[in-house]
Structure 1
Amino acid sequence: MSKKILGEKIKKYREFRQISRKDLALKANLDEEQLEKVEDKGVMPSLGHLIKISRALGVRIGTFLDGQEQIGPAIMRAGEEKSSMSFSTKDDSTREHLNFFSLAQDKAGRHMEPFIVDIEPSKESDYKLSSHEGEEFMYVLEGSIEVNYGKDVFQINKGDTIYLDSVVEHNVHAANNQPAKLLAVVYTPV
């Protein structure tokens, strides 16, 4: 899915529910200008902001990430991952190092969002923490990641997992200035 299509879906749902951009921005705790960039210019919101937008509109996050709806199980064959997405924050220059590949975008009514995430080393050392509702599970497939979680920092290596509460401010980035790959499952309550 392209960034433009994501913004168009958000705008479509907002207009269908007859919510002004200003009201949605207030409900989602975003700047109205930021929401305008998402809807009209294809700027990708952070995962936390996308979750807040979906909650404010009363839909699950997958509503915006789905390509099509499938009632039965969704099977993703190796090498067939769909739609890379990069999430960003209010600061357009950050978070471009996280590329998400959805593993179940065809599954209707799901409550979890499984992704393969490719993480490129960041040039920044001052990582911006964010929080959102729900929980996250990460299994490191390649390399190592560093997770800033509240005031703690954890290094998670290949084969290790971490399960965290997303309401605690956190940041995930490549450790040791080397790329990493992980399986991430994000759960957000509807």
Structure 2
Amino acid sequence: MSRKNIGKKIKEFREFRKITREHFAVKANLDVVQLEEIEENGTVPSLGHLIKISRAFGVRIGTFLDDVDSIGPAVVKAGEAQAALSFSTKDESSREHLNFFSLAQAKAGRHMEPFVVEIEPASESDYKLSSHEGEEFIFVLEGNVEINYGKEIYLLEKGDTIYLDSIVAHNVHAGGNQVAKILAVIYTPV
């Protein structure tokens, strides 16, 4: 899935439903300039914003991430997870960098989004919290992960897990100034 394809799919959905960009930006609680960047320039929205877009359309988040519509199971062999995206954040000054590797792009009709996520350490510690509807399950594969969740901070090491409600403002980042890798499964109700 290329960056351009996500914006193209969003634009096609919006135009098919005859919704103006301005009206849809309000409906999805996004800035109209940001929506234009996504649709026209291939800017990848943050995961939280992609969830808002999918909810405003009343579709699964996978609708914009799918490459293939396969009814059967999606199998991804070790080492073959496709580098899906590096999600951006609305804040251009953000120092966070997360590389998402989708594990289910080939599965149509899914309600969960499983990713392997490589988290590069940030040089600053003023993390931006975000929230969206749904739930997340995280399993630490490598390194240490720090999770700001509401007013709490959770430190997770390799093998640790956390299951959280995404509506609570949160941020997941590498701990100990080292690269971390997690398995993240995100569920968003339609």
Maintained 8 Å contact 2:71/2:107: yes
Deviations 1:75-132 (A, max 9, x none): 1100110133111121234265111000001001000000000000012210000000
Report the equivalent of 1:165: 165
Counting only pairs closer than 5 Å after superposition, residues 1-190 of structure 1 correspond to structure 2 as 1-94=1-94, 96-190=96-190
8 Å CA contact retained: 2:140, 2:161: yes
* Contact persistence 2:95–2:123 (CA under 8 A): no
CA distance in 2, matches of 1:40, 1:94: 22
Gaps of 5+ in 1: none
CA contact (8 A) 1:45 1:90 kept: yes
Structure 2 length normalisation: TM-score? 0.97
How far apart, CA to CA, are the structure 2 residues paired with 1:67 and 1:128? 30
Q: Is the 8 A contact 1:104 1:114 kept in 2?
A: yes
Q: Per the alignment, in what secondary structure is the counterpart of residue 40 of structure 1? A: helix
What letter matches 1:29 in structure 2? N
Distance 2:171 2:26 in 1: 24
8 Å CA contact 1:87, 1:96 repeated in 2: no
Kept in 2, the 8 Å contact 1:117–1:182? The answer is yes
Q: Is the 8 A contact 1:2 1:83 kept in 2?
A: no
Task: Describe the shift of the 1:132–1:156 C-alpha distance in structure 2 as closer, same or farther (beyond 3 A).
Answer: same
SS in 2 for 1:178: coil
Moved over 3 A (4+): none
Aligned with 2:185: secondary structure? strand
Query: How much has 1:169 moved relative to structure 2?
Result: 0.2
CA distance in 2, matches of 1:96, 1:67: 26
Counterparts of 1:61 and 1:162, CA distance in 2: 22
Counterpart CA distance in 2 for 1:93 and 1:6 is 23
Q: CA RMSD in A?
A: 1.0
Contact 1:87 1:95 in 2 (8 A): no
